[in-house]
Homo-oligomer: A and B are copies of this chain.
């Protein structure tokens, strides 16, 4: 089985490396070729275009930054959609929004392709250590087929439902992550302004009943002020926009999520977009 892989950013490069190391036959493409160097040295084949990658693939995995990037590699003369062999499976791991995913699924189906959305929870280290969590939308048979690949890149797969449902769960999860970080950054800023030491504050909040457990992993960032990028702040803002898209599509009021979205936008506007999203702490505690 030939596997295509398009999108070699922070996440994709590590996911592809795990596939390669597990012995899979991999053809890769990325907008910037340099990011493929390590994979090519490890035995992957280079494809000049999405089309070239698609032609050579039984299963094609994409993980790209936003809907427009997916649209760009899917359509057009160098696109993947018209190049995939009939019956091939396109797995999109990008975090987009459900209506977009359902549109991609429709375009794929109309061409005799199979489609699955499989966005991941986890960031840089989880990608490197094959500890990602996959939220999958698609047919059960396709999920079964893809499970060996998911198993090489992650440690858990949740089959949420039909195409679009993986992304649906993902936008909910990222809403949770983003709002938890924003609430923590605000709470910590308030506590410190009131004179509570960082140590006392973290002692009560992090690891306690009121703060999301993932914040414990970010604690060294808050303490050192070094926000080595695991998940860029500008992407979290983007993901909250995906949440807002999904909320608009379904008519759900989300005032807190939207307030968090604008707070990330303000932080990005102040120059923190390329740091880890935990830098929201610095934005408010600076």
Binding site for B on A (CB under 8 A): 98, 135, 158, 160-161, 164-165, 168-169, 171-173, 175-177, 179-180, 182-184, 186-191, 193-196, 200-201, 203-205, 208-214, 238, 241, 243-244, 246-248, 250-263, 265-266, 268-270, 284
Contact A187 B172 (CB under 8 A): yes
A171 CB to nearest B CB, Å: 7
User: What separation, in Å, do the CA atoms of A23 and B262 have in the docked complex?
Assistant: 49
Taking CB atoms, residues of chain B closer than 8 Å to A200 are: 158, 160-161, 169
Taking CB atoms, residues of chain B closer than 8 Å to A251 are: 193, 265, 268-269
Q: How many copies does the complex hold?
A: 4
Instruction: Pick the residue among B184, B210, B247, B258 that contacts A259 (CB under 8 A).
Output: B258
User: What separation, in Å, do the CA atoms of A246 and B192 have in the docked complex?
Assistant: 11
Chain B's closest residue to A266 (CB) is B253
Instruction: Pick the residue among B168, B177, B252, B266 that contacts A210 (CB under 8 A).
Output: B177
Contact A256 B253 (CB under 8 A): no
17 contacts across the A-B interface (CB closer than 8 A)? A161-B196, A165-B194, A169-B201, A172-B204, A175-B187, A176-B184, A176-B210, A179-B186, A186-B253, A193-B251, A193-B252, A208-B213, A209-B212, A213-B213, A238-B248, A251-B269, A270-B270
